[in-house]
Structure formats: C-alpha cells, structure tokens
Structure 1
Amino acid sequence: MKILIVEDEIGIYTFLKEGLEDEGYDTLVASDGATALKGYQEWQPDLILLDWMIPVIDGIDVCNRIREKDTTTPIIFLTARDTVEDTIKGLRAGANDYVKKPFSFEELLERIKIHFRNRQQDEILHLGNIEQNLTTYEVKQNGKEVKLTTREFDLLAYFIQHKGQICSREDIIKNVWGIDFQYDTGVIDVFMNALRKKFDMKQNGYIKTVRGVGFIASE
C-alpha cells in the first residue's frame, strides 16, 4: 500500500516516513500543495496524510481538488488546526478523518488500517430503491447514479449494514470515522443533511432521526 505524506515540517514527515515504512508501507513525501497534487496524479497513492498549513496550495484546497476527480482514496488530515469549525471544514472538503497534532503514531497507524480495511470489502447493499456497491464505489437510486463523497459513502454503508437498528451518534462517530471524537457529535448532521438532499430523503425517508439518540435506517 502506498501512502502520500503531505507535510512541510521535516521532523514530522521524517518521523512518519520512517515509521510507516517500518510497518511495510511505501511512502512519498510532498512538502507543499503543488508537489502534493503532482505526486497524487503521478504516483496514485492508496491513502493520503494531509497537513492543512502547507506552502503554495493549502491542504483544504488540495483536498478539494483531489475530491473533484476521486471520491474513494482515503484522506486523513494531520494538522494543528484543532477547533470544531476547522474539523468540520476539513470533513466537508472530503477528508475521511481528522487527526490533531500532537498525535500518537500508534493511534494514527490504527486509523490508517481501518480505512484500508473499509476499502477491501466486497458487497452490494440495498436500502429501498438505493443500491450501494462497496467494490466499485458506485451508488444508484432507481438505477440512476448518485455521486457521494467518501465520508457520505461510508456513512450510508453503515446505516444500511445496521438496518432496523438505532444507531447512536457516538456509535456512528466511532464506527464510521473510526475514532472517538472529543467534541460535539453534531458534525454528523452536516453529512446527514447532504445525504438526504442527494437522495431526496425527507425526515420520513429511509433514514429517520431518533430524537435525542441518533438515527435508524428502514425500508
């Protein structure tokens, strides 16, 4: 597996490169946004570790540009920007995960493994007239393709895999994001609103809100 490290601090990217290569991953380092985009296009990494505050083109813009063409490659922000607003902005840009500096390498490694495992599933899921292919990353409603971001895709899959069960906000954060968020789980609402708009799901659609608890998917 190939991991693109986008980081301009030599101490951090050296630490990451050595640690990940010790774990058997191939790595490529880019110290600015323009080099990161070139490396992504030419090297086609399996996962991207992306700092926000990098020269030339910032991390948010890099993430947005990649997501214009690629909704499947996992992107993990690795940044000192640590407010709730920053995290939501990063996730809205299409990132799969958001790790705040300083970080534990062991925790980061586990998150990387989770994202790789999520990509290795082979299954077609159904929810009413929605069909989701976990292998090709295609999603259709009534036979018509629906474009989702990576996080929206993962969130939809989690709901379908737990049809008929109430999914608490805490469980969603833990299982979809792969971490325990230390702030308001209201970030989920951002993605729920996007999903409902893309599938034209109203409050009484396939994924219903269970007030004070979370959500439930049913047909």
Structure 2
Amino acid sequence: MNIFNNIIKSMFQNVYFITGTAYAGKSTAVKLLAERFDGICCGENYHDVFMKHIDKEFQPNLAYFDTMKDWQEFISRTPDEYAAWIDGCSKEAESLEIIRLLQLVAEDKKIFVDTNISLETLREISDYQHIAVMLCPQSMSVERFFDRSDPEKRFILDQLNQAENPEKAMENYRKCLEKINSKEIYKRYSDSGFYTIVRDENSTIENTLQKLIEHFGLK
C-alpha cells in the first residue's frame, strides 16, 4: 500500500525538520525548540521505538547491532564500510521515521525533528519553511565529535580506549567520521536550496535558536 506524499505533507504542517552534518547543533536545537514551544522533541534515533519490529533480511543495517561479533568489530570497520552502514541505516530508518511522525501528529502539537530523512524525500513530504539544514565544517565535526557528554559518544570512546591499540583505533574511527562528514556530503546539503545555518566559532545557542524560530515562522 502506498500513501501519497501530498497526504503526508498535509499532515505534517506542525512538523519542523532539521537535518545536516554532525556537531552542527541539531539535537540541541530540537530539544530547546520543543521546550520553548511546548512541543514534541524527536531527537536522534527517535524511530528506535520500532526497532523490535525490524528484520535482518529487510533491514540489515539497522539489525547490525544484533549480528555484529562485538563492539570492537564496530569500531574497527574501514571508513568505506562505516559510511556504507550509515547510509544504509538512514535509508532503512526513513520509513520508520515517517510512521512515527504520523503517530505523533495526532497529539496536535508542534514536532521538532532531528532527522536522517533524505533531502529528496523531505522535498516531497514538507516545504521550505518547515525544513532547516544545520552544517558544521568537517574539521570541527571530526575534532570535536567526542566533546559531548551524551551516553552514545561516551560509550564509543570507552570502546576505542579498550582496543588493543587505542591510538590506531582512534585514528581509524576519525577517518570514518571524516568519510561521513566529507566535503561532498557537506556540499550536497549546502547546495540543497533549503534554509541553512553554518556553525562556526562565534555561533551561540540562542542566536541559532532565534534564526530557526524566524525561519520556521514560530511565535
């Protein structure tokens, strides 16, 4: 069964999507916007409520955590393998994200989404005023990837420190991060035609929030 994109778009009038690269401030933005406007925060991996329904035959990338040997295997993959996995997860999670949002719109609140839905799909299910791209230069996104206290980043850092050769493991993982935050990917976002905010050394959380509030037409 197909649900036509115009139907989804009409149901997503209270949904505000933020996409972009790592360390750009997407998670912080959706959290604070939801708090400020009494809305719903759909942070990173908000589709995880459906993970119990995935099947390794149909969602091999999302099922990777159930099929991998251990976490040392996870951190030791090559940059190409890691990038292919990230891309595969995004594609497999797209339908799960949309299904979850279709559930949440029934609550009749503004919904702020840190999304991995592709730019192409976003064009079909939303519009310019409901989409924002947040970017961070590759050097900053890689060098400061672990400068965050969220449990997932801390766990990966612990696994890297437990590797047989922690320095080599960290070097390889940084190359993985460089691959998924490449100049080509950055350019794809920056040339998308959507409203874009680029993080730099002078960026502040409040200034970024005000830009998003103005773009989204929130009051």
TM-score by structure 2 length? 0.31
Of Structure 1 and Structure 2, which has the larger fraction of its residues in helix?
Answer: 2
- Highest relative contact order (Cα 8 Å, sep 6+), 1 or 2? 2
